[in-house]
Amino acid sequence: MKPILQNLVEMTGHRDHLRLEVSVLTTLQAFSGMVQVRSLEVFMLDGEYYCRPRTWMDGRGQWLSAGTEAQSDPQRVRVADMPALHECLQAHASQAVAKLGKGRHALWLPVWMNDKVHTCLEVIQARPFSAQKIDTINSVFQVFQNYQSLLDYSERDALTGLFNRKTFDEQFARATTHDTSEPIALELPRDSAEPGAEGADKQWLAVVDIDHFKMVNDRFGHLYGDEVLILVANILRSSFRSHDRIFRFGGEEFVVLLRSTSLATAHKVFNRFRKNVEDYYFPQVGQVTVSVGFVSAENGSPVEVLGRADQALYFAKENGRNQVRYYDDLVAAGLLQTKQVSNDDVELF
């Protein structure tokens, strides 16, 4: 019991979802008789539940975390092929137990948030689960879930549910660097990029601004303005992959960290999002458009990269709006001048 309590103390010391998840998996791994403990990502594809490994331990005792897009992950499986888990998700139940074969008994613990499930902890051991062991595992799981909710509350924008400004620096560092000082070694495999494509396998940062948003508030009121923000946030979520990161910086401004793709794909993805907003009918308000400025996220500090994307954004807004502009193209065409921005010079947003 003492090692488990020590693991719980460590678990609630984390301020990061991924390391919190690794910590609860480490705690469960410490139980006797464990064969495998991992986190599964649950997602919808063609109207069906699928799942794929998200965080797991390899044969060397190193925790790995998936970085590829869930829908294209070759390890994905239909939840319908896992009858006990499928029934559990359909019933919105708290757990499922099944025998997988000789010496393999599984316990699944879905993480429900607002009646939706995106994550499920999978615990496999050699013997059937006793009622006492399930209760103990459930207690650890509840501590994990409660603490995860606290993290969500502190990291998320209250209106849209997107990441807030204070989480940006950490997420930016994770997307653009590999921090070897972390006590838990996590390998984050990247998506394969198009062979020979310019800017292949790079990270991109975009600043998004809703065009004429002040007019929406002035004409229709802040209640409909808030509805527009929520709907744009929903379009952002559906337009990008699960491992890309989306932030609301305040007001009508959003930031997107697009991970591991080529310049050509970045252009396509950002323009697809812009078109999705343009084609959407916003109740009472009608048509809404957005302007986007983006830049490579790999050259400079967060404030420098944000500054360049912000320059591209405001060029877009001053030259017709409802368009996507790439900073390097504007500089190459002589339409923007490069600026040196330091952390002491400006505070963005």
Distance, in Å, from the CA atom of 165 to the CA atom of 157, rounded to the nearest integer, reads 8
Rounded CA-CA distance 297/202 in Å is 8
Q: Beta strand pairing status for 116-125 and 324-326? A: unpaired
The per-residue pLDDT string of the chain (349 residues; one tens digit each, 9 = 90 and over) reads 556 656 655 555 555 677 788 889 999 998 999 999 999 999 888 889 999 998 999 888 888 887 666 777 889 999 999 999 999 999 999 999 999 988 899 999 999 977 889 899 999 999 999 999 999 999 999 989 888 877 777 788 889 989 998 888 878 877 776 443 333 344 433 333 343 344 456 999 999 999 999 999 999 999 999 999 999 999 999 899 877 899 999 899 999 999 888 999 999 999 999 999 999 999 989 999 999 999 999 888 899 999 999 999 999 999 999 999 999 999 999 999 876 555 444 444 4
pLDDT value of position 167: 85
Sheet holding 290-296, edge to edge: 245-250, 253-261, 202-210, 290-296, 324-326
Q: What is the pLDDT of residue 177?
A: 62
Tokens of 256: 């997107």
Q: At residue 277, what is the residue type?
A: V
Q: Cα 235 to chain center, whole Å?
A: 15
Residues 117 and 110 sit within 8 Å (Cβ to Cβ): yes
The torsion angles phi and psi of 141, rounded to 5 degrees, stand at: -65, -40
How many angstroms separate the CA atoms of 96 and 122, rounded? Answer: 10
- Is 252 among the catalytic positions? yes
What is the second-level CATH architecture of the domain 193-332? Answer: 2-Layer Sandwich (3.30)
Q: Which of 21, 155, 227, 252 is catalytic?
A: 252
Domain with CATH 3.30.70.270 in the chain: 193-332
164/167 Cα distance (integer angstroms): 6
Range list for CATH 3.30.450.40 in the chain? 2-155
Tell me the fold of 2-155: Beta-Lactamase (3.30.450)
